[in-house]
Amino acid sequence: MTDVRQWTAPGRVNLIGEHLDYNGGPVLPIAINRSLRLKARLRNDDIVRVWTTLGGNQSAEFTTAVQPGEVTDWAACVAGVFWALAEQGRAIPGADLVIDGDLASGAGLSSSAAVEAVVATALNDLLGLGIDRIDLALLCQRAENDFAGVPTGIMDQLAVLNGERGKALLIDLLPERPTIETVDANWADAGLSLVVIDTMTRHDLGDGRYAERREECRQAADALGLEQLAAAGPDAVLKLDDDVLKARTRHVITETARVRGAVRALRTGNWTQFGSMLTASHASLRDDFAVSRMELDIAVEASIEAGAFGARMTGGGFGGSAIALVDASLRAELADKVTSRFAFHQFAAPEFFTVEAADGAREIRP
C-alpha cells in the first residue's frame, strides 16, 4: 500500500445563473471556504473501501469493476468516479478512502460534486493520469449523471475543481467545451458579506423533480428548433403554446440576461445592481421555474427586509440554502429577522454562515 495522502474540495455557491448549465447558458459560481477532506491510499487489489463521518458514520465497499446500480445513496458519487475512469480504459487499483469535512449534504452547496471532485483529483494525482481540470469535471459529471443517475449539468463540478480565491467564475457552457473566465469577487473590500442561509430543508436532486425541469427545457428547445434553450431569442416565449414550457423558457432567457448584468455589476462594484439581479433571479426561480419553497421564499423576503442588497435561493432548488448580500454590520440583524420569521411559521431554526471565494480541489501537502 502507498502512504496516506490528503486532498480537499470545496462546496460551491452559485451567485446567479440557476438551471442554465444544462441549457447552454452562462453561470457565475464561486468555490467556497467550506469543504470536504479526503484521506486516501492505493491498495494492491481491486477493493475500494470508503468511510465517511458526514451525516453519521457510514461506510461502503465495492470493486473497481463496479457498475451502475450496484452502489447507491452517498457512496454512488465515489463509485461513479472509479466507474467513469474504468470506462475510459484506465487501469485503476483499489483504494482506502476516508471523507469528512464541514460541508452539509443536501444544503444546495454541491456536496455531491465535491465528493466526486476530491476523489477524482486524488486518483488523478496518485496515478499520474494527467487529466486537466475541465476533462476531470466532465468525468465527474458522467459519474453523477450515468452512474448515480442524477441528470445535473456540469457547473458544480467545474466550480469545485477550478475555484480561485477571491474570484467568481464566469462559465460559458459552449457545446464544444466550457470556457472559464475569472471575475474579481471583492464585495468584502466594500464592507459587504455574502451570507448563506441554510434553511435546513434537505433536497434530493435524484427525486425526479430536477429531471422533470430538465425534460421540460428539452421539450421547449425542441419546439423552438434549438439545440439548447439558452440560445432562444427574446420572442421565443411567443412561439410556444404550452404555459409550462413558456414559463421555463422565460426563466432561461431572463436568467441568461441577469448573469451578464451581474458580471457587469460585479466588475464595477455596483452592489445595488448586483443585489437586484439576485432578487430578480429568485422571483424567476419561484414563479417561472417553480423550484423554490416556502422556507427559501421567507429567507429571501426577510433578508431584504433586514437591508440586504439582494437575496436568492441557490442550487437546484426544492430545499437547501439561500444567499444574501448584506452590509457586514447588518449580518446579526439579518440572522435575527430570518430566524424570527422561521419561528413564526414553526420551521426548524436556520443556520447562517459567511462565505468567501476559495480555491478549488487540491492536495493538502504537509
Which of the residues are catalytic?
156
Q: How far is CA 88 from CA 75, 81, 136, 141, 347, in A?
A: 21, 11, 12, 14, 47
In the beta sheet, which residues pair with residue 8?
Answer: 37, 362
Radius of gyration over every alpha carbon of the chain, rounded to an integer in angstroms: 20
Residues 6 or more apart from 341 whose CB is under 8 A from it? 298, 301, 302
* Residue 2 cell numbers, joined: 502507498
End-to-end Cα spacing for the chain = 19
Contact 224, 250 (CB under 8 A): no
Report the phi/psi class of residue 122: left, alpha or beta, with left for phi > 0 and alpha for psi in -120 to 50.
Answer: alpha
**Cα(239)–Cα(54) distance, rounded to whole angstroms?**
47
The length of the chain in residues reads 366
What's the per-residue H, E or C state across 198-255?
A: EEEECCCCCCCHHHHHHHHHHHHHHHHCCCCHHHCCCCHHHHCCCHHHHHHHHHHHHH
Q: Where are the beta strands (DSSP E) in 25-178?
A: 26-42, 47-52, 58-63, 95-101, 167-172
Residue 349, Cβ density class (10 Å: 0-12 exposed, 13-18 middle, ≥19 buried): exposed
